[in-house]
């Protein structure tokens, strides 16, 4: 059987599994699915794992384990003013992160993705999706291993600055090696001091929890970025990281990551 034939066969099996899951309301146990599909164990687990790695299924609990479909959700038609201002920051912040910031950190290879702009998906509840993600590979001259980093950023416009940004970033660290909060404080707002106490509390909480904190007056100009707190690096559970990559990042991003480790 050629590779193309094998791929087509997997596609057929994947569609059958997804179709049966939808008939069952989007969630079912592994043993039930395998039995009702009439597949042997090798076929079922291979097809299930492919769908998990594609971000179309997520694993669940129960006797024998279970799976659920990760469905797209419609975006809300009403957007708060602070959210609109925040959307305008994603592009320039991501550009600087992929250029000056990445060079500053000596990444060997890296890829940046604005995850906040991808369609809404049910990926585990509140605070599960960061605004920007960087995957990076680091190599050191006197250390034999390669180091893979998955760094998340929670971006806030001035109007939306609140201490909850730190806790949002902390939630992302379940699957990330480092988590940052990026706050936009325009130059003309620094003298007003409207959020002075809030900014101080954010800095205190970030320091206490090991979350990184960057405050910038111009999102497109790295010289205006003040890295007030470097994020502490953690080693998340590899399965949680793999699930995050499968569900939150697009296929092209995932394909590039696989090339790094070949």
Task: Report if residue 76 sits inside a domain.
Answer: no
In terms of domains, do 222 and 101 share one?
yes
pLDDT less than 50: residues of the chain:
74-79, 120-121, 123
Q: Give the total number of structural domains in the chain.
A: 2
| Structure confidence at residue 218 (pLDDT) | 95
Domain boundary among 48, 70, 92: 70
Q: Tell me, what CATH number does 12's domain have?
A: 1.10.10.10
Alpha-carbon span 55 to 253, nearest angstrom: 13
In terms of domains, do 56 and 88 share one?
no
State the alpha helices, DSSP H only, in 67-184. Answer: 81-96, 102-104, 164-172
Q: State the residue range of the domain holding 36.
A: 3-70
State the alpha helices, DSSP H only, in the chain. Answer: 3-23, 30-37, 41-53, 81-96, 102-104, 164-172, 196-209, 238-248, 251-260
| Structure confidence at residue 203 (pLDDT) | 96
In terms of domains, do 229 and 131 share one?
yes
Residue 97: CA count within 13 A, CB half-sphere: 28
Residues in the chain: 262
In terms of domains, do 121 and 242 share one?
yes
Task: Report if residue 116 sits inside a domain.
Answer: yes
| Structure confidence at residue 54 (pLDDT) | 78
In terms of domains, do 147 and 31 share one?
no
Tell me which DSSP letter residue 97 carries. Answer: I
In terms of domains, do 220 and 174 share one?
yes
In terms of domains, do 66 and 156 share one?
no
Q: How does pLDDT run across 161-204, given as a tens digit for each residue? A: 999 999 999 999 999 999 999 999 998 777 666 788 999 999 99
| Structure confidence at residue 79 (pLDDT) | 45
């Amino acid at each position: 059987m050629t590779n193309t034939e094998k791929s087509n066969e997997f596609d057929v099996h994947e569609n059958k599994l997804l179709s049966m899951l939808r008939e069952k309301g989007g969630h079912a146990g592994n043993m039930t699915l395998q039995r009702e599909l009439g597949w042997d164990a090798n076929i079922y687990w291979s097809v299930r794992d492919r769908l998990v790695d594609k971000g179309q299924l997520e694993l669940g609990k129960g006797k024998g384990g279970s799976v659920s479909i990760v469905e797209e959700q419609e975006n809300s038609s009403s957007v708060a003013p602070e959210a609109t201002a925040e959307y305008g920051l994603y592009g320039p912040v991501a550009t600087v992160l992929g250029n000056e910031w990445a060079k500053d950190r000596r990444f060997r290879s890296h890829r940046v993705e604005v995850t906040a702009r991808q369609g809404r998906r049910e990926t585990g509840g509140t605070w599960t999706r960061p605004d920007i993600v960087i995957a990076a590979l680091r190599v050191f001259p006197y250390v034999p291993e390669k180091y893979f980093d998955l760094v998340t950023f929670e971006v806030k416009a001035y109007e939306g600055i609140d201490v909850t940004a730190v806790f949002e970033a902390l939630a992302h660290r379940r699957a990330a090696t480092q988590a940052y909060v990026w706050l936009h404080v325009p130059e003309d707002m620094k003298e007003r001091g409207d959020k002075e106490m809030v900014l101080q509390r954010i800095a205190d909480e970030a320091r206490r929890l090991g979350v990184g904190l960057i405050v910038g007056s111009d999102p497109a100009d790295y010289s205006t970025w003040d890295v007030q707190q470097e994020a502490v690096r953690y080693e998340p559970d590899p399965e949680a990281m793999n699930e995050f990559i499968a569900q939150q990042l697009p296929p092209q991003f995932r394909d590039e990551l696989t090339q790094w480790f070949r």
